[in-house]
Structure 1
Protein backbone atom coordinates (compact mmCIF):
# COMPACT_ATOMS: atom_id res chain seq x y z
CA UNK A 1 0.00 0.00 0.00
CA UNK A 2 1.25 3.47 -0.90
CA UNK A 3 -0.39 6.04 1.37
CA UNK A 4 2.31 8.70 1.18
CA UNK A 5 4.30 10.18 4.04
CA UNK A 6 1.63 12.38 5.62
CA UNK A 7 1.62 12.72 9.38
CA UNK A 8 -2.05 11.73 9.54
CA UNK A 9 -2.57 9.55 6.48
CA UNK A 10 0.24 7.07 7.15
CA UNK A 11 -0.95 6.12 10.67
CA UNK A 12 -4.48 5.87 9.26
CA UNK A 13 -3.28 3.48 6.57
CA UNK A 14 -1.41 1.36 9.13
CA UNK A 15 -4.51 1.20 11.32
CA UNK A 16 -6.67 0.10 8.39
CA UNK A 17 -4.24 -2.67 7.50
CA UNK A 18 -4.35 -3.86 11.10
CA UNK A 19 -8.14 -3.79 11.08
CA UNK A 20 -8.18 -5.74 7.80
CA UNK A 21 -6.26 -8.56 9.52
CA UNK A 22 -8.59 -8.53 12.53
CA UNK A 23 -12.03 -8.59 10.90
CA UNK A 24 -13.34 -11.91 9.66
CA UNK A 25 -16.71 -11.07 8.10
CA UNK A 26 -16.29 -10.75 4.29
CA UNK A 27 -18.44 -7.64 3.97
CA UNK A 28 -16.51 -5.87 6.71
CA UNK A 29 -13.25 -6.75 4.98
CA UNK A 30 -14.64 -5.28 1.77
CA UNK A 31 -15.53 -2.03 3.54
CA UNK A 32 -11.99 -1.77 4.94
CA UNK A 33 -10.52 -2.46 1.48
CA UNK A 34 -12.62 0.41 0.09
CA UNK A 35 -11.11 2.79 2.68
CA UNK A 36 -7.62 1.53 1.86
CA UNK A 37 -8.30 2.06 -1.84
CA UNK A 38 -9.45 5.61 -1.12
CA UNK A 39 -6.18 6.38 0.67
CA UNK A 40 -4.25 4.80 -2.19
CA UNK A 41 -6.12 6.93 -4.72
CA UNK A 42 -5.48 10.11 -2.73
CA UNK A 43 -1.78 9.28 -2.47
CA UNK A 44 -1.37 8.18 -6.09
CA UNK A 45 -3.00 11.37 -7.36
CA UNK A 46 -0.80 13.59 -5.21
CA UNK A 47 -3.55 14.90 -2.94
CA UNK A 48 -2.23 13.87 0.49
CA UNK A 49 -1.17 17.38 1.50
CA UNK A 50 -4.50 18.88 0.41
CA UNK A 51 -6.50 16.25 2.29
CA UNK A 52 -4.49 16.69 5.47
CA UNK A 53 -4.75 20.47 5.26
CA UNK A 54 -8.52 20.10 4.91
CA UNK A 55 -8.55 17.81 7.96
CA UNK A 56 -6.40 20.13 10.07
CA UNK A 57 -7.83 23.47 8.89
CA UNK A 58 -11.44 22.87 7.77
CA UNK A 59 -12.29 26.54 8.42
CA UNK A 60 -10.14 27.50 5.42
CA UNK A 61 -12.49 25.75 3.00
CA UNK A 62 -16.00 26.46 1.81
CA UNK A 63 -18.40 23.50 1.87
CA UNK A 64 -17.17 21.51 -1.12
CA UNK A 65 -19.34 21.40 -4.24
CA UNK A 66 -18.45 19.00 -7.04
CA UNK A 67 -20.07 20.99 -9.85
CA UNK A 68 -21.94 24.19 -10.64
CA UNK A 69 -24.90 24.72 -12.97
CA UNK A 70 -26.72 27.82 -14.12
CA UNK A 71 -30.18 26.22 -14.13
CA UNK A 72 -31.83 23.42 -12.19
CA UNK A 73 -32.71 21.73 -15.49
CA UNK A 74 -28.99 21.45 -16.30
CA UNK A 75 -28.28 19.94 -12.88
CA UNK A 76 -31.10 17.42 -13.24
CA UNK A 77 -29.83 16.42 -16.69
CA UNK A 78 -26.31 15.90 -15.27
CA UNK A 79 -27.70 13.82 -12.41
CA UNK A 80 -29.74 11.72 -14.84
CA UNK A 81 -27.03 11.21 -17.47
CA UNK A 82 -24.04 10.55 -15.18
CA UNK A 83 -23.53 6.80 -14.90
CA UNK A 84 -22.72 6.87 -11.19
CA UNK A 85 -22.96 10.40 -9.79
CA UNK A 86 -21.08 11.15 -6.55
CA UNK A 87 -23.31 10.54 -3.55
CA UNK A 88 -23.88 12.20 -1.24
CA UNK A 89 -22.44 15.36 -2.75
CA UNK A 90 -23.08 19.07 -2.89
CA UNK A 91 -23.58 20.90 -6.16
CA UNK A 92 -24.28 24.55 -6.87
CA UNK A 93 -27.19 25.83 -8.91
CA UNK A 94 -26.42 29.48 -9.37
CA UNK A 95 -25.23 30.45 -5.89
CA UNK A 96 -27.39 27.94 -4.01
CA UNK A 97 -26.27 24.63 -2.54
CA UNK A 98 -28.10 21.41 -3.33
CA UNK A 99 -27.51 17.94 -1.95
CA UNK A 100 -27.44 15.12 -4.52
CA UNK A 101 -28.11 11.49 -3.79
CA UNK A 102 -27.77 8.26 -5.77
CA UNK A 103 -28.56 4.66 -4.81
CA UNK A 104 -26.93 2.06 -7.01
CA UNK A 105 -29.29 -0.72 -5.88
CA UNK A 106 -32.36 0.75 -7.60
CA UNK A 107 -30.80 3.66 -9.53
CA UNK A 108 -32.69 6.21 -7.43
CA UNK A 109 -31.45 9.76 -7.99
CA UNK A 110 -32.54 13.03 -6.47
CA UNK A 111 -31.55 16.43 -5.17
CA UNK A 112 -32.84 18.90 -2.65
CA UNK A 113 -32.02 22.43 -1.57
CA UNK A 114 -29.63 22.60 1.35
CA UNK A 115 -29.21 25.76 3.41
CA UNK A 116 -25.47 25.46 4.00
CA UNK A 117 -24.45 29.07 3.44
CA UNK A 118 -27.60 30.49 5.01
CA UNK A 119 -26.69 28.79 8.29
CA UNK A 120 -23.09 29.99 7.96
CA UNK A 121 -24.19 33.56 7.28
CA UNK A 122 -26.46 33.51 10.34
CA UNK A 123 -23.48 32.45 12.46
CA UNK A 124 -21.05 34.90 10.87
CA UNK A 125 -23.39 37.89 11.31
CA UNK A 126 -24.64 37.03 14.80
CA UNK A 127 -22.45 39.81 16.25
CA UNK A 128 -22.73 42.12 13.26
CA UNK A 129 -20.91 42.47 9.96
CA UNK A 130 -17.30 43.67 10.23
CA UNK A 131 -16.81 47.19 8.84
CA UNK A 132 -14.64 48.01 5.86
CA UNK A 133 -16.08 45.63 3.26
CA UNK A 134 -15.10 46.64 -0.29
CA UNK A 135 -17.96 48.24 -2.19
CA UNK A 136 -19.02 47.81 -5.82
CA UNK A 137 -21.84 49.16 -7.93
CA UNK A 138 -22.53 45.87 -9.73
CA UNK A 139 -21.95 42.14 -9.31
CA UNK A 140 -19.64 42.01 -12.32
CA UNK A 141 -17.31 44.52 -10.65
CA UNK A 142 -17.24 42.44 -7.48
CA UNK A 143 -16.51 39.26 -9.44
CA UNK A 144 -13.60 40.92 -11.27
CA UNK A 145 -12.15 42.14 -7.96
CA UNK A 146 -12.55 38.69 -6.39
CA UNK A 147 -10.58 37.11 -9.23
CA UNK A 148 -7.61 39.23 -8.10
CA UNK A 149 -8.39 38.96 -4.38
CA UNK A 150 -9.84 35.48 -3.77
CA UNK A 151 -11.68 35.02 -0.47
CA UNK A 152 -10.16 32.56 2.03
CA UNK A 153 -12.70 31.03 2.02
CA UNK A 154 -15.19 33.88 2.44
CA UNK A 155 -15.34 37.65 2.83
CA UNK A 156 -18.01 40.31 2.93
CA UNK A 157 -18.48 42.70 0.04
CA UNK A 158 -21.06 45.39 -0.66
CA UNK A 159 -22.86 45.35 -4.02
CA UNK A 160 -25.24 48.20 -4.86
CA UNK A 161 -25.47 49.05 -1.16
CA UNK A 162 -26.26 45.51 0.01
CA UNK A 163 -23.91 43.25 1.95
CA UNK A 164 -23.03 39.91 0.35
CA UNK A 165 -20.89 37.04 1.53
CA UNK A 166 -18.42 36.07 -1.19
CA UNK A 167 -17.40 32.41 -0.99
CA UNK A 168 -14.38 31.05 -2.82
CA UNK A 169 -14.75 27.57 -4.30
CA UNK A 170 -11.15 26.67 -5.03
CA UNK A 171 -11.98 23.38 -6.73
CA UNK A 172 -14.38 25.08 -9.16
CA UNK A 173 -12.24 28.22 -9.60
CA UNK A 174 -15.11 30.59 -8.88
CA UNK A 175 -16.90 32.63 -6.21
CA UNK A 176 -20.52 32.53 -5.20
CA UNK A 177 -22.19 35.66 -3.84
CA UNK A 178 -24.86 35.42 -1.15
CA UNK A 179 -26.99 38.48 -0.23
CA UNK A 180 -26.92 38.64 3.55
CA UNK A 181 -30.44 39.97 4.14
CA UNK A 182 -32.20 37.42 1.94
CA UNK A 183 -29.99 34.60 3.27
CA UNK A 184 -31.01 35.42 6.85
CA UNK A 185 -34.69 35.52 5.83
CA UNK A 186 -34.36 32.18 4.03
CA UNK A 187 -32.63 30.61 7.03
CA UNK A 188 -35.34 31.83 9.41
CA UNK A 189 -38.07 30.47 7.12
CA UNK A 190 -36.25 27.15 6.81
CA UNK A 191 -35.91 26.85 10.58
CA UNK A 192 -39.63 27.52 11.02
CA UNK A 193 -40.45 24.88 8.42
CA UNK A 194 -38.28 22.31 10.18
CA UNK A 195 -39.89 23.12 13.53
CA UNK A 196 -43.35 22.73 12.02
CA UNK A 197 -42.44 19.38 10.46
CA UNK A 198 -41.03 18.14 13.77
CA UNK A 199 -44.17 19.17 15.66
CA UNK A 200 -46.39 17.46 13.09
CA UNK A 201 -44.33 14.26 13.32
CA UNK A 202 -44.65 14.37 17.10
CA UNK A 203 -48.40 14.91 16.85
CA UNK A 204 -48.26 18.25 18.61
CA UNK A 205 -50.46 21.18 17.56
CA UNK A 206 -48.61 23.74 15.38
CA UNK A 207 -47.09 26.71 17.16
CA UNK A 208 -48.97 29.90 16.32
CA UNK A 209 -47.14 33.12 15.61
CA UNK A 210 -47.80 35.49 18.48
CA UNK A 211 -47.34 38.49 16.23
Structure 2
Protein backbone atom coordinates (compact mmCIF):
# COMPACT_ATOMS: atom_id res chain seq x y z
CA UNK A 1 0.00 0.00 0.00
CA UNK A 2 1.50 3.23 -1.13
CA UNK A 3 1.42 6.20 1.21
CA UNK A 4 1.19 9.75 0.03
CA UNK A 5 4.36 11.63 0.67
CA UNK A 6 4.06 14.62 2.94
CA UNK A 7 5.84 17.85 2.31
CA UNK A 8 7.22 19.69 5.28
CA UNK A 9 6.56 23.39 5.20
CA UNK A 10 8.69 25.91 7.00
CA UNK A 11 6.89 28.99 8.19
CA UNK A 12 8.65 32.25 8.79
CA UNK A 13 7.62 33.73 12.15
CA UNK A 14 6.03 37.11 11.92
CA UNK A 15 8.13 38.58 14.68
CA UNK A 16 9.55 41.53 12.79
CA UNK A 17 12.91 39.81 12.46
CA UNK A 18 12.90 40.01 8.67
CA UNK A 19 15.29 42.46 7.13
CA UNK A 20 13.73 45.89 6.68
CA UNK A 21 13.09 47.00 3.14
CA UNK A 22 14.08 50.45 1.94
CA UNK A 23 11.40 52.95 1.09
CA UNK A 24 12.81 53.36 -2.38
CA UNK A 25 12.26 56.63 -4.19
CA UNK A 26 11.88 56.37 -7.95
CA UNK A 27 12.15 59.07 -10.57
CA UNK A 28 8.36 59.02 -11.02
CA UNK A 29 7.78 59.91 -7.36
CA UNK A 30 10.78 62.16 -6.69
CA UNK A 31 10.64 65.83 -5.78
CA UNK A 32 13.70 67.68 -7.06
CA UNK A 33 14.78 71.25 -6.34
CA UNK A 34 16.42 72.72 -9.45
CA UNK A 35 18.53 75.83 -8.84
CA UNK A 36 20.00 78.16 -11.45
CA UNK A 37 20.24 81.95 -11.56
CA UNK A 38 19.78 81.94 -15.35
CA UNK A 39 16.14 81.48 -16.42
CA UNK A 40 16.88 79.76 -19.73
CA UNK A 41 19.20 77.09 -18.35
CA UNK A 42 16.89 76.66 -15.36
CA UNK A 43 14.06 75.96 -17.77
CA UNK A 44 16.22 73.49 -19.70
CA UNK A 45 17.39 71.52 -16.67
CA UNK A 46 13.91 71.38 -15.13
CA UNK A 47 12.48 70.24 -18.46
CA UNK A 48 14.99 67.37 -18.73
CA UNK A 49 14.28 66.12 -15.22
CA UNK A 50 10.55 66.60 -15.59
CA UNK A 51 10.54 64.62 -18.83
CA UNK A 52 12.14 61.78 -16.83
CA UNK A 53 9.19 61.86 -14.44
CA UNK A 54 10.54 64.01 -11.63
CA UNK A 55 8.52 66.76 -9.95
CA UNK A 56 10.64 69.91 -10.13
CA UNK A 57 10.71 72.96 -7.89
CA UNK A 58 12.57 75.90 -9.41
CA UNK A 59 14.77 78.36 -7.54
CA UNK A 60 17.03 81.16 -8.76
CA UNK A 61 18.81 82.12 -5.53
CA UNK A 62 20.28 80.43 -2.47
CA UNK A 63 17.43 81.82 -0.39
CA UNK A 64 14.86 80.25 -2.70
CA UNK A 65 16.71 76.92 -2.51
CA UNK A 66 16.56 76.94 1.28
CA UNK A 67 12.86 77.79 1.27
CA UNK A 68 12.18 75.01 -1.23
CA UNK A 69 13.89 72.57 1.15
CA UNK A 70 11.71 73.70 4.02
CA UNK A 71 14.32 75.88 5.70
CA UNK A 72 13.26 79.13 7.41
CA UNK A 73 13.76 82.26 5.36
CA UNK A 74 16.58 84.44 6.74
CA UNK A 75 15.58 87.99 7.76
CA UNK A 76 18.11 89.48 5.34
CA UNK A 77 16.72 87.62 2.33
CA UNK A 78 16.34 89.79 -0.73
CA UNK A 79 14.56 87.27 -2.95
CA UNK A 80 10.92 88.14 -3.57
CA UNK A 81 8.43 85.31 -3.83
CA UNK A 82 6.90 86.98 -6.87
CA UNK A 83 10.19 86.60 -8.73
CA UNK A 84 10.27 82.88 -7.97
CA UNK A 85 6.65 82.50 -8.99
CA UNK A 86 7.32 84.25 -12.29
CA UNK A 87 10.13 81.92 -13.32
CA UNK A 88 8.17 78.87 -12.14
CA UNK A 89 5.27 79.99 -14.29
CA UNK A 90 7.58 80.34 -17.30
CA UNK A 91 8.99 76.86 -16.78
CA UNK A 92 5.55 75.33 -16.23
CA UNK A 93 4.28 76.76 -19.50
CA UNK A 94 7.35 75.57 -21.39
CA UNK A 95 7.21 71.96 -20.18
CA UNK A 96 3.42 71.62 -20.34
CA UNK A 97 3.59 69.20 -23.31
CA UNK A 98 6.03 67.02 -21.35
CA UNK A 99 4.01 66.74 -18.15
CA UNK A 100 3.73 63.20 -16.82
CA UNK A 101 2.16 63.80 -13.43
CA UNK A 102 -1.19 65.39 -14.20
CA UNK A 103 -3.28 66.76 -12.61
CA UNK A 104 -0.56 68.03 -10.26
CA UNK A 105 1.69 70.61 -11.99
CA UNK A 106 5.17 69.23 -12.42
CA UNK A 107 7.03 72.51 -12.04
CA UNK A 108 6.10 74.81 -9.20
CA UNK A 109 7.41 77.82 -7.34
CA UNK A 110 9.89 77.32 -4.54
CA UNK A 111 7.87 78.33 -1.51
CA UNK A 112 7.19 76.69 1.83
CA UNK A 113 3.49 76.23 1.16
CA UNK A 114 4.20 74.00 -1.83
CA UNK A 115 5.75 71.08 0.05
CA UNK A 116 6.17 69.63 3.50
CA UNK A 117 9.60 70.06 5.10
CA UNK A 118 11.89 67.15 4.35
CA UNK A 119 9.97 65.96 1.27
CA UNK A 120 12.70 66.98 -1.16
CA UNK A 121 14.55 63.97 -2.56
CA UNK A 122 17.30 65.64 -4.58
CA UNK A 123 18.92 69.01 -5.20
CA UNK A 124 20.29 69.86 -8.66
CA UNK A 125 22.19 73.16 -8.63
CA UNK A 126 23.95 75.02 -11.43
CA UNK A 127 26.58 76.83 -9.37
CA UNK A 128 27.16 79.54 -12.00
CA UNK A 129 29.95 81.89 -10.98
CA UNK A 130 29.74 81.22 -7.24
CA UNK A 131 30.30 77.54 -6.38
CA UNK A 132 31.26 78.36 -2.79
CA UNK A 133 27.82 79.84 -2.16
CA UNK A 134 26.25 76.61 -3.38
CA UNK A 135 28.49 74.54 -1.09
CA UNK A 136 27.81 76.75 1.92
CA UNK A 137 24.07 76.65 1.35
CA UNK A 138 24.17 72.89 0.88
CA UNK A 139 25.97 72.51 4.20
CA UNK A 140 23.29 74.59 5.94
CA UNK A 141 20.52 72.49 4.44
CA UNK A 142 22.25 69.27 5.44
CA UNK A 143 22.49 70.42 9.03
CA UNK A 144 18.75 69.74 9.01
CA UNK A 145 18.52 67.07 6.29
CA UNK A 146 21.90 65.27 6.40
CA UNK A 147 20.98 62.63 3.81
CA UNK A 148 19.81 64.97 1.04
CA UNK A 149 21.82 64.10 -2.12
CA UNK A 150 22.87 66.77 -4.59
CA UNK A 151 24.18 67.21 -8.11
CA UNK A 152 26.25 70.30 -8.85
CA UNK A 153 26.47 71.56 -12.43
CA UNK A 154 29.48 73.72 -13.24
CA UNK A 155 31.59 75.19 -16.00
CA UNK A 156 34.88 73.45 -16.77
CA UNK A 157 36.79 76.34 -15.18
CA UNK A 158 35.61 75.04 -11.81
CA UNK A 159 37.39 71.71 -12.31
CA UNK A 160 38.35 70.43 -8.88
CA UNK A 161 34.97 71.28 -7.37
CA UNK A 162 34.35 67.56 -6.93
CA UNK A 163 37.26 67.44 -4.48
CA UNK A 164 35.56 70.00 -2.26
CA UNK A 165 32.43 67.83 -2.04
CA UNK A 166 34.21 64.77 -0.69
CA UNK A 167 33.92 65.96 2.91
CA UNK A 168 30.19 66.65 2.71
CA UNK A 169 27.80 64.53 4.76
CA UNK A 170 25.78 63.06 1.87
CA UNK A 171 26.30 61.96 -1.71
CA UNK A 172 27.25 64.89 -3.93
CA UNK A 173 28.03 64.54 -7.62
CA UNK A 174 29.57 67.09 -9.99
CA UNK A 175 28.89 67.37 -13.70
CA UNK A 176 30.89 69.74 -15.87
CA UNK A 177 29.48 71.44 -18.96
CA UNK A 178 28.59 70.72 -21.66
CA UNK A 179 26.19 68.22 -20.07
CA UNK A 180 24.35 65.56 -22.03
CA UNK A 181 20.71 65.17 -20.85
CA UNK A 182 21.02 61.39 -20.63
CA UNK A 183 24.15 61.77 -18.49
CA UNK A 184 22.27 64.08 -16.11
CA UNK A 185 19.47 61.52 -15.71
CA UNK A 186 21.98 58.70 -15.27
CA UNK A 187 23.63 60.57 -12.40
CA UNK A 188 20.40 61.71 -10.73
CA UNK A 189 18.43 58.46 -10.69
CA UNK A 190 20.82 56.39 -8.50
CA UNK A 191 20.94 59.21 -5.95
CA UNK A 192 17.19 58.87 -5.41
CA UNK A 193 17.43 55.44 -3.83
CA UNK A 194 20.85 55.69 -2.19
CA UNK A 195 19.63 57.45 1.01
CA UNK A 196 17.02 54.73 1.56
CA UNK A 197 19.64 52.02 1.08
CA UNK A 198 21.96 53.73 3.55
CA UNK A 199 19.16 53.88 6.13
CA UNK A 200 18.54 50.14 5.81
CA UNK A 201 22.21 49.38 6.38
CA UNK A 202 22.10 51.44 9.56
CA UNK A 203 19.05 49.50 10.75
CA UNK A 204 20.79 46.19 10.08
CA UNK A 205 23.95 47.23 11.88
CA UNK A 206 24.55 45.62 15.26
CA UNK A 207 26.46 46.74 18.30
CA UNK A 208 30.19 46.22 17.64
CA UNK A 209 31.79 43.40 19.65
CA UNK A 210 35.20 44.97 19.32
CA UNK A 211 36.37 48.53 18.64
CA UNK A 212 36.09 49.64 15.05
CA UNK A 213 33.89 46.77 13.85
CA UNK A 214 30.20 46.74 13.01
CA UNK A 215 28.36 43.61 11.88
CA UNK A 216 25.99 44.19 8.97
TM-score interval, smaller chain:
under 0.3
* Bigger helix fraction: 1
More strand by share: 1
TM-score (norm 2): 0.22
TM-score by length of 1: 0.22
- Per chain length, whose mean CA-contact separation is higher, i.e. which structure has more relative contact order (CA < 8 Å, sep 6+)? 2
